[in-house]
Protein backbone atom coordinates (compact mmCIF):
# COMPACT_ATOMS: atom_id res chain seq x y z
CA UNK A 1 0.00 0.00 0.00
CA UNK A 2 2.71 2.45 0.95
CA UNK A 3 4.14 2.20 -2.57
CA UNK A 4 0.96 3.55 -4.12
CA UNK A 5 2.25 7.15 -4.34
CA UNK A 6 5.37 5.83 -6.08
CA UNK A 7 3.33 3.94 -8.67
CA UNK A 8 1.00 6.94 -9.06
CA UNK A 9 3.87 9.32 -9.75
CA UNK A 10 5.31 6.78 -12.19
CA UNK A 11 2.04 6.84 -14.12
CA UNK A 12 1.95 10.64 -14.30
CA UNK A 13 5.62 11.10 -15.15
CA UNK A 14 4.61 12.11 -18.67
CA UNK A 15 0.92 13.04 -18.45
CA UNK A 16 0.44 13.52 -22.19
CA UNK A 17 1.75 10.06 -23.00
CA UNK A 18 -0.33 8.44 -20.27
CA UNK A 19 -3.48 10.18 -21.42
CA UNK A 20 -2.87 9.04 -25.01
CA UNK A 21 -2.30 5.42 -23.98
CA UNK A 22 -5.36 5.63 -21.76
CA UNK A 23 -7.50 6.89 -24.65
CA UNK A 24 -6.15 4.25 -26.99
CA UNK A 25 -6.97 1.43 -24.59
CA UNK A 26 -10.33 3.01 -23.87
CA UNK A 27 -11.24 3.15 -27.57
CA UNK A 28 -10.13 -0.44 -28.13
CA UNK A 29 -12.27 -1.72 -25.29
CA UNK A 30 -15.27 0.34 -26.37
CA UNK A 31 -15.10 -1.41 -29.74
CA UNK A 32 -14.51 -4.78 -28.10
CA UNK A 33 -17.55 -4.20 -25.89
CA UNK A 34 -19.85 -3.32 -28.77
CA UNK A 35 -18.75 -6.13 -31.11
CA UNK A 36 -18.50 -8.85 -28.51
CA UNK A 37 -21.71 -7.59 -26.90
CA UNK A 38 -23.50 -7.94 -30.23
CA UNK A 39 -22.28 -11.50 -30.66
CA UNK A 40 -22.93 -12.67 -27.10
CA UNK A 41 -26.17 -10.70 -26.91
CA UNK A 42 -27.57 -12.52 -29.93
CA UNK A 43 -26.63 -15.88 -28.45
CA UNK A 44 -28.31 -14.89 -25.20
CA UNK A 45 -31.47 -13.75 -26.99
CA UNK A 46 -31.74 -17.17 -28.59
CA UNK A 47 -31.39 -18.96 -25.26
CA UNK A 48 -34.10 -16.74 -23.76
CA UNK A 49 -36.75 -17.64 -26.33
CA UNK A 50 -39.31 -20.16 -25.18
CA UNK A 51 -38.60 -23.80 -25.78
CA UNK A 52 -42.02 -24.82 -24.42
CA UNK A 53 -43.99 -23.15 -27.21
CA UNK A 54 -44.20 -24.87 -30.57
CA UNK A 55 -45.24 -23.40 -33.88
CA UNK A 56 -47.12 -25.71 -36.25
CA UNK A 57 -47.12 -24.50 -39.85
CA UNK A 58 -47.33 -25.92 -43.35
CA UNK A 59 -44.35 -27.78 -44.81
CA UNK A 60 -43.83 -25.44 -47.70
CA UNK A 61 -43.49 -22.06 -46.16
CA UNK A 62 -44.13 -20.21 -42.94
CA UNK A 63 -47.21 -18.57 -44.42
CA UNK A 64 -48.81 -21.50 -46.20
CA UNK A 65 -52.35 -21.83 -44.77
CA UNK A 66 -53.47 -24.86 -42.74
CA UNK A 67 -57.12 -25.86 -42.13
CA UNK A 68 -58.50 -25.05 -38.69
CA UNK A 69 -59.77 -28.63 -38.49
CA UNK A 70 -56.27 -29.83 -37.51
CA UNK A 71 -56.75 -28.23 -34.10
CA UNK A 72 -58.44 -31.14 -32.34
CA UNK A 73 -55.92 -33.67 -33.65
CA UNK A 74 -53.01 -31.54 -32.47
CA UNK A 75 -54.66 -31.19 -29.07
CA UNK A 76 -54.89 -34.96 -28.71
CA UNK A 77 -51.09 -35.36 -28.91
CA UNK A 78 -49.74 -36.30 -25.45
CA UNK A 79 -47.86 -33.45 -23.77
CA UNK A 80 -49.83 -30.69 -25.50
CA UNK A 81 -51.46 -28.22 -23.09
CA UNK A 82 -52.97 -25.51 -25.24
CA UNK A 83 -53.46 -25.16 -29.00
CA UNK A 84 -54.15 -21.63 -30.25
CA UNK A 85 -55.03 -20.96 -33.91
CA UNK A 86 -53.39 -17.86 -35.38
CA UNK A 87 -54.29 -16.01 -38.56
CA UNK A 88 -52.27 -13.02 -39.74
CA UNK A 89 -53.05 -10.28 -42.20
CA UNK A 90 -51.78 -6.86 -43.06
CA UNK A 91 -53.79 -3.68 -42.75
CA UNK A 92 -53.18 0.04 -42.98
CA UNK A 93 -54.52 2.85 -40.84
CA UNK A 94 -55.46 6.11 -42.58
CA UNK A 95 -52.51 6.18 -45.00
CA UNK A 96 -50.81 3.36 -46.98
CA UNK A 97 -47.51 3.79 -45.13
CA UNK A 98 -49.05 3.33 -41.67
CA UNK A 99 -48.91 -0.44 -41.76
CA UNK A 100 -50.23 -2.71 -39.04
CA UNK A 101 -49.96 -6.45 -38.52
CA UNK A 102 -53.26 -7.92 -37.39
CA UNK A 103 -53.06 -11.14 -35.35
CA UNK A 104 -56.34 -13.02 -35.14
CA UNK A 105 -56.41 -15.32 -32.10
CA UNK A 106 -59.03 -17.41 -30.32
CA UNK A 107 -59.01 -16.57 -26.59
CA UNK A 108 -59.52 -20.15 -25.40
CA UNK A 109 -58.69 -21.22 -21.85
CA UNK A 110 -54.99 -20.69 -21.19
CA UNK A 111 -54.26 -19.22 -24.66
CA UNK A 112 -51.84 -16.66 -23.26
CA UNK A 113 -49.42 -19.40 -22.22
CA UNK A 114 -48.71 -19.98 -25.92
CA UNK A 115 -47.81 -16.33 -26.58
CA UNK A 116 -45.23 -13.86 -25.37
CA UNK A 117 -47.90 -11.24 -24.58
CA UNK A 118 -48.58 -9.66 -21.21
CA UNK A 119 -52.23 -8.53 -20.94
CA UNK A 120 -54.17 -7.35 -17.88
CA UNK A 121 -56.96 -9.84 -16.92
CA UNK A 122 -59.72 -7.23 -17.34
CA UNK A 123 -58.62 -6.60 -20.93
CA UNK A 124 -58.69 -10.33 -21.65
CA UNK A 125 -62.21 -10.54 -20.22
CA UNK A 126 -63.38 -7.60 -22.34
CA UNK A 127 -61.71 -9.18 -25.40
CA UNK A 128 -63.71 -12.39 -24.87
CA UNK A 129 -67.01 -10.53 -24.54
CA UNK A 130 -66.95 -8.40 -27.66
CA UNK A 131 -66.61 -9.95 -31.11
CA UNK A 132 -65.14 -6.81 -32.66
CA UNK A 133 -62.72 -6.22 -29.79
CA UNK A 134 -59.08 -5.45 -30.40
CA UNK A 135 -56.14 -5.36 -28.00
CA UNK A 136 -53.43 -2.99 -29.19
CA UNK A 137 -49.72 -3.37 -28.59
CA UNK A 138 -48.76 -0.61 -26.13
CA UNK A 139 -46.33 1.18 -28.44
CA UNK A 140 -48.87 1.21 -31.28
CA UNK A 141 -51.58 2.64 -29.02
CA UNK A 142 -49.19 5.42 -28.01
CA UNK A 143 -48.13 6.02 -31.63
CA UNK A 144 -51.68 6.61 -32.90
CA UNK A 145 -53.14 7.91 -29.61
CA UNK A 146 -55.72 5.12 -29.40
CA UNK A 147 -57.61 4.79 -26.11
CA UNK A 148 -59.95 2.16 -24.69
CA UNK A 149 -63.39 2.61 -26.27
CA UNK A 150 -61.98 4.00 -29.55
CA UNK A 151 -63.41 2.64 -32.78
CA UNK A 152 -60.55 2.15 -35.23
CA UNK A 153 -61.09 1.77 -38.99
CA UNK A 154 -58.49 -0.29 -40.86
CA UNK A 155 -58.04 -0.97 -44.55
CA UNK A 156 -56.80 -4.40 -45.71
CA UNK A 157 -56.68 -6.64 -48.75
CA UNK A 158 -58.99 -9.14 -47.06
CA UNK A 159 -62.51 -8.85 -48.43
CA UNK A 160 -65.53 -8.97 -46.09
CA UNK A 161 -68.81 -10.72 -46.87
CA UNK A 162 -70.40 -7.38 -47.73
CA UNK A 163 -67.70 -6.79 -50.35
CA UNK A 164 -65.85 -4.16 -48.39
CA UNK A 165 -62.16 -4.24 -47.48
CA UNK A 166 -62.68 -1.84 -44.56
CA UNK A 167 -62.51 -3.43 -41.13
CA UNK A 168 -63.32 -1.73 -37.84
CA UNK A 169 -62.45 -2.82 -34.32
CA UNK A 170 -63.13 -1.54 -30.81
CA UNK A 171 -60.13 -0.99 -28.59
CA UNK A 172 -60.60 -2.84 -25.28
CA UNK A 173 -57.05 -2.78 -23.95
CA UNK A 174 -53.33 -2.83 -24.59
CA UNK A 175 -50.65 -5.49 -24.31
CA UNK A 176 -46.89 -5.69 -24.00
CA UNK A 177 -44.87 -8.14 -26.08
CA UNK A 178 -41.68 -9.74 -24.76
CA UNK A 179 -41.02 -11.46 -28.09
CA UNK A 180 -37.71 -11.38 -29.86
CA UNK A 181 -37.82 -8.25 -31.96
CA UNK A 182 -40.69 -6.80 -29.93
CA UNK A 183 -43.42 -7.92 -32.31
CA UNK A 184 -43.67 -4.83 -34.55
CA UNK A 185 -46.81 -2.72 -34.98
CA UNK A 186 -49.48 -5.27 -34.16
CA UNK A 187 -52.92 -5.67 -32.67
CA UNK A 188 -54.93 -8.72 -31.61
CA UNK A 189 -58.47 -9.47 -32.78
CA UNK A 190 -60.89 -12.39 -32.39
CA UNK A 191 -60.25 -15.19 -34.89
CA UNK A 192 -63.82 -16.43 -34.91
CA UNK A 193 -65.25 -13.02 -35.79
CA UNK A 194 -62.64 -12.48 -38.49
CA UNK A 195 -63.08 -15.91 -40.06
CA UNK A 196 -66.83 -15.55 -40.16
CA UNK A 197 -66.66 -12.11 -41.76
CA UNK A 198 -64.17 -12.88 -44.54
CA UNK A 199 -64.96 -14.35 -47.94
CA UNK A 200 -61.81 -16.18 -49.01
CA UNK A 201 -59.70 -18.81 -47.21
CA UNK A 202 -62.43 -19.45 -44.66
CA UNK A 203 -61.55 -21.98 -41.96
CA UNK A 204 -57.79 -21.69 -42.41
CA UNK A 205 -55.02 -20.44 -40.17
CA UNK A 206 -51.42 -19.35 -40.79
CA UNK A 207 -50.19 -21.48 -37.94
CA UNK A 208 -51.04 -23.00 -34.59
CA UNK A 209 -49.23 -21.99 -31.43
CA UNK A 210 -48.90 -24.97 -29.09
CA UNK A 211 -47.94 -24.72 -25.43
CA UNK A 212 -46.48 -27.95 -24.11
CA UNK A 213 -46.11 -29.26 -20.56
CA UNK A 214 -42.41 -30.09 -20.57
CA UNK A 215 -39.91 -28.04 -22.63
CA UNK A 216 -37.48 -30.98 -22.48
CA UNK A 217 -39.92 -33.00 -24.57
CA UNK A 218 -40.31 -30.28 -27.25
CA UNK A 219 -38.63 -32.34 -29.96
CA UNK A 220 -40.64 -35.48 -29.16
CA UNK A 221 -43.97 -33.64 -29.16
CA UNK A 222 -43.07 -31.78 -32.36
CA UNK A 223 -42.17 -35.02 -34.14
CA UNK A 224 -45.40 -36.64 -32.96
CA UNK A 225 -47.50 -33.77 -34.32
CA UNK A 226 -45.74 -33.91 -37.71
CA UNK A 227 -46.08 -37.72 -37.77
CA UNK A 228 -49.88 -37.47 -37.39
CA UNK A 229 -50.17 -35.37 -40.55
CA UNK A 230 -47.48 -37.08 -42.58
CA UNK A 231 -48.57 -38.09 -46.10
CA UNK A 232 -51.79 -36.11 -45.78
CA UNK A 233 -52.79 -33.13 -47.90
CA UNK A 234 -51.77 -30.90 -45.02
CA UNK A 235 -48.36 -32.01 -43.92
CA UNK A 236 -47.12 -29.91 -41.02
CA UNK A 237 -43.77 -28.73 -39.81
CA UNK A 238 -43.52 -28.18 -36.06
CA UNK A 239 -40.68 -26.36 -34.41
CA UNK A 240 -40.12 -24.67 -31.09
CA UNK A 241 -39.89 -20.90 -30.88
CA UNK A 242 -36.27 -21.35 -29.87
CA UNK A 243 -35.43 -23.32 -33.00
CA UNK A 244 -37.15 -20.63 -35.03
CA UNK A 245 -35.13 -17.88 -33.36
CA UNK A 246 -31.99 -19.89 -33.97
CA UNK A 247 -32.58 -20.14 -37.69
CA UNK A 248 -33.58 -16.46 -37.88
CA UNK A 249 -30.49 -15.25 -36.06
CA UNK A 250 -28.18 -17.82 -37.63
CA UNK A 251 -27.37 -15.30 -40.30
CA UNK A 252 -25.94 -12.87 -37.77
CA UNK A 253 -23.86 -15.71 -36.37
CA UNK A 254 -22.27 -15.95 -39.82
CA UNK A 255 -20.60 -12.64 -39.03
CA UNK A 256 -18.63 -14.26 -36.21
CA UNK A 257 -15.57 -14.74 -38.38
CA UNK A 258 -15.52 -11.06 -39.30
CA UNK A 259 -16.09 -9.97 -35.70
CA UNK A 260 -13.31 -12.24 -34.46
CA UNK A 261 -10.91 -10.91 -37.09
CA UNK A 262 -11.67 -7.31 -36.19
CA UNK A 263 -11.35 -7.88 -32.45
CA UNK A 264 -8.04 -9.63 -33.12
CA UNK A 265 -6.82 -6.73 -35.28
CA UNK A 266 -7.81 -4.23 -32.58
CA UNK A 267 -5.82 -6.07 -29.95
CA UNK A 268 -2.77 -6.65 -32.15
CA UNK A 269 -2.60 -2.92 -32.93
CA UNK A 270 -3.20 -2.01 -29.30
CA UNK A 271 -0.61 -4.38 -27.83
CA UNK A 272 1.98 -3.30 -30.36
CA UNK A 273 1.42 0.37 -29.62
CA UNK A 274 1.38 0.06 -25.84
CA UNK A 275 4.34 -2.34 -25.63
CA UNK A 276 6.44 0.01 -27.77
CA UNK A 277 5.42 3.00 -25.74
CA UNK A 278 6.24 1.29 -22.45
CA UNK A 279 9.64 0.21 -23.67
CA UNK A 280 10.39 3.76 -24.76
CA UNK A 281 9.19 5.07 -21.42
CA UNK A 282 11.32 2.61 -19.41
CA UNK A 283 14.42 3.53 -21.43
CA UNK A 284 13.89 7.17 -20.56
CA UNK A 285 13.31 6.37 -16.92
CA UNK A 286 16.31 4.08 -16.53
CA UNK A 287 18.36 6.56 -14.43
CA UNK A 288 15.39 7.08 -12.09
CA UNK A 289 14.92 3.34 -11.71
CA UNK A 290 18.64 3.13 -10.99
CA UNK A 291 18.13 5.58 -8.12
CA UNK A 292 15.32 3.41 -6.75
CA UNK A 293 17.56 0.38 -6.82
CA UNK A 294 20.38 2.32 -5.14
CA UNK A 295 17.94 3.19 -2.34
CA UNK A 296 17.45 -0.54 -1.74
CA UNK A 297 14.45 -1.53 -3.83
CA UNK A 298 14.93 -5.06 -5.13
CA UNK A 299 14.73 -6.05 -8.79
CA UNK A 300 11.45 -7.80 -8.05
CA UNK A 301 9.97 -4.61 -6.56
CA UNK A 302 10.92 -2.58 -9.63
CA UNK A 303 9.41 -5.30 -11.84
CA UNK A 304 6.17 -5.14 -9.85
CA UNK A 305 6.05 -1.31 -9.96
CA UNK A 306 6.17 -1.29 -13.74
CA UNK A 307 3.55 -4.02 -13.95
CA UNK A 308 1.28 -2.22 -11.46
CA UNK A 309 1.49 1.00 -13.50
CA UNK A 310 0.43 -0.80 -16.65
CA UNK A 311 -2.39 -2.64 -14.86
CA UNK A 312 -3.75 0.58 -13.37
CA UNK A 313 -3.83 2.37 -16.73
CA UNK A 314 -5.29 -0.59 -18.61
CA UNK A 315 -7.98 -1.50 -16.10
CA UNK A 316 -9.08 2.11 -15.64
CA UNK A 317 -9.19 2.64 -19.41
CA UNK A 318 -11.00 -0.66 -19.99
CA UNK A 319 -13.64 0.34 -17.43
CA UNK A 320 -14.13 3.63 -19.27
CA UNK A 321 -14.22 1.92 -22.68
CA UNK A 322 -16.69 -0.76 -21.61
CA UNK A 323 -18.82 1.91 -19.93
CA UNK A 324 -18.85 3.80 -23.22
CA UNK A 325 -19.84 0.61 -25.03
CA UNK A 326 -22.71 0.15 -22.57
CA UNK A 327 -23.98 3.66 -23.28
CA UNK A 328 -23.80 3.40 -27.08
CA UNK A 329 -25.13 -0.17 -27.14
CA UNK A 330 -28.78 0.87 -27.51
CA UNK A 331 -27.75 2.01 -31.03
CA UNK A 332 -26.80 -1.57 -31.90
CA UNK A 333 -30.18 -2.79 -30.74
CA UNK A 334 -31.58 -1.01 -33.80
CA UNK A 335 -30.03 -3.79 -35.86
CA UNK A 336 -31.31 -6.56 -33.57
CA UNK A 337 -34.31 -5.36 -31.58
CA UNK A 338 -34.43 -6.44 -27.97
CA UNK A 339 -30.69 -6.84 -27.71
CA UNK A 340 -28.97 -5.88 -24.49
CA UNK A 341 -25.31 -6.03 -23.48
CA UNK A 342 -24.60 -9.16 -21.43
CA UNK A 343 -22.53 -8.48 -18.31
CA UNK A 344 -20.33 -11.46 -19.11
CA UNK A 345 -18.85 -9.32 -21.90
CA UNK A 346 -17.84 -6.68 -19.35
CA UNK A 347 -16.19 -9.35 -17.22
CA UNK A 348 -14.41 -10.80 -20.26
CA UNK A 349 -13.29 -7.29 -21.20
CA UNK A 350 -11.74 -6.69 -17.78
CA UNK A 351 -9.96 -10.05 -17.94
CA UNK A 352 -8.64 -9.09 -21.39
CA UNK A 353 -7.46 -5.75 -19.98
CA UNK A 354 -5.44 -7.49 -17.27
CA UNK A 355 -3.99 -9.89 -19.81
CA UNK A 356 -3.15 -7.12 -22.26
CA UNK A 357 -1.50 -5.03 -19.53
CA UNK A 358 0.64 -7.97 -18.45
CA UNK A 359 1.63 -8.86 -22.00
CA UNK A 360 2.61 -5.33 -22.98
CA UNK A 361 4.38 -4.56 -19.68
CA UNK A 362 6.23 -7.77 -19.01
CA UNK A 363 9.17 -7.21 -21.37
CA UNK A 364 9.78 -3.58 -20.31
CA UNK A 365 9.41 -4.68 -16.67
CA UNK A 366 11.98 -7.46 -17.05
CA UNK A 367 14.27 -5.00 -18.82
CA UNK A 368 13.87 -2.57 -15.93
CA UNK A 369 14.41 -5.26 -13.28
CA UNK A 370 17.57 -6.56 -14.91
CA UNK A 371 19.15 -3.19 -15.55
CA UNK A 372 22.55 -2.64 -14.03
CA UNK A 373 22.58 0.12 -11.37
CA UNK A 374 25.84 1.71 -12.46
CA UNK A 375 24.95 1.70 -16.15
CA UNK A 376 21.47 2.96 -15.38
CA UNK A 377 22.69 5.85 -13.24
CA UNK A 378 25.16 6.81 -15.95
CA UNK A 379 22.30 6.87 -18.47
CA UNK A 380 23.87 4.04 -20.48
CA UNK A 381 21.66 1.31 -21.83
Partner 1 sequence: MNFARQCLALLRVNLAGLIERPSSALTILVGVTCAVGALVSMLAMGTGARRQEMGDVRADHAVLSKTGERPGQSDIPRDEAAAILGLPGIRKGSAGEPIVVFESMTFIEGRRRGTRTRIYFPVIGVTPTITEYLPEMRFTGGRMFRPGLQELIAGDSCARQFTGFELGDSRLIHGVAWTVVGHFDEDEAQQCVVYGDVDSIMSAFKSNTYTSVGVMLQSAADFSAFRDAVAANPALHLEALPERAVVEDEFKQLNAILYFVAYFVGSIMALGATLGAVNSLYAIVDSRRRELATLRAIGFAPGSLVVAVLVESVLLAIPGALLGSGLAWILFNGLAASPLGYSIRLAVTPALVGLGILWALGMGLLGGLLPALRAARIPVTTALRAI
Site residues, partner 1 (CB under 8 A): 16-17, 20-21, 23-24, 27-28, 30-31, 34-35, 59-64, 96, 157, 233, 237, 247-248, 250-252, 254-255, 257-258, 261-262, 265-266, 268-270, 272-273, 276-277, 279-280, 335
C-alpha to C-alpha distances, 151 to 92, 132, 133, 148, nearest whole angstrom: 15, 10, 9, 9
Contact 43, 337 (CB under 8 A): no
Minimal CA–CA distance to 101: which of 88, 116, 112, 114?
88
Nearer to partner 1, 130 or 261 (CB): 261
Please, which residue, 29 or 111, has the CB nearer to partner 1? 29
Closer residue to partner 1 (CB): 273 or 354:
273
Q: How far is the CB of 270 from partner 1 (least distance, A)?
A: 7
Task: State the Rg of the chain over Cα.
Answer: 31
* Distance of closest approach, residue 149 Cβ to partner 1, in angstroms: 31
Backbone angles phi, psi at 231, to 5 degrees: 60, 15
Query: In terms of CB distance, is 18 or 190 closer to partner 1?
Result: 18
CB of 313 to partner 1, least distance (A): 13
Query: What is the Cα–Cα distance from 53 to 113, expressed in whole angstroms?
Result: 8
Question: Is residue 92 within 8 Å of residue 154, measured between CB atoms?
Answer: yes
CB of 280: closest distance to partner 1 in angstroms?
5
Residue 78 or residue 90: which is nearer to partner 1 going by CB? 90
**Cα angle value 286/270/323 (rounded, 5°):** 110
CB of 41 vs partner 1, minimal distance in Å = 15
Residue among 17 and 143 whose Cβ is closer to partner 1: 17
**Pairing state between β 53-58 and 236-240:** antiparallel
Distances (CA, A) of 176 to 168, 207, 247: 22, 21, 25
In whole angstroms, how close is the CB of 360 to partner 1 at the nearest point? 12
Give the C-alpha separation, 12 to 316, whole Å.
Answer: 14
User: By C-beta, is 60 or 300 nearer to partner 1?
Assistant: 60
Strands (E) in the chain, as ranges, are 53-58, 66-67, 80-92, 99-105, 117-119, 133-137, 151-156, 166-177, 186-190, 204-205, 207-212, 236-240
Residue 125 C-beta: closest distance to partner 1, Å: 37
What is the smallest separation between the CB atom of 304 and partner 1, expressed in angstroms?
24
Q: Of the two residues 59 and 294, which places its CB atom closer to partner 1 in the complex?
A: 59
Amino acid sequence: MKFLPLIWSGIWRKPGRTVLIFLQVCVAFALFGVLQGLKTGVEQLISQTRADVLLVHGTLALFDPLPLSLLERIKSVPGVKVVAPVELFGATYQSPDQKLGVVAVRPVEGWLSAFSYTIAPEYVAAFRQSRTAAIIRDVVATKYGWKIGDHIPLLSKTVQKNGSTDWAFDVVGTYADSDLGGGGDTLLINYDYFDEARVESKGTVKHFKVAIADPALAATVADEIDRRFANSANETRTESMRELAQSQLQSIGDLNFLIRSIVAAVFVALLFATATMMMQSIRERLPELGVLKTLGFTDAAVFLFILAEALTIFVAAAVCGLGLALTVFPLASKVVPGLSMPLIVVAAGLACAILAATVSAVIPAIFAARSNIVAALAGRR
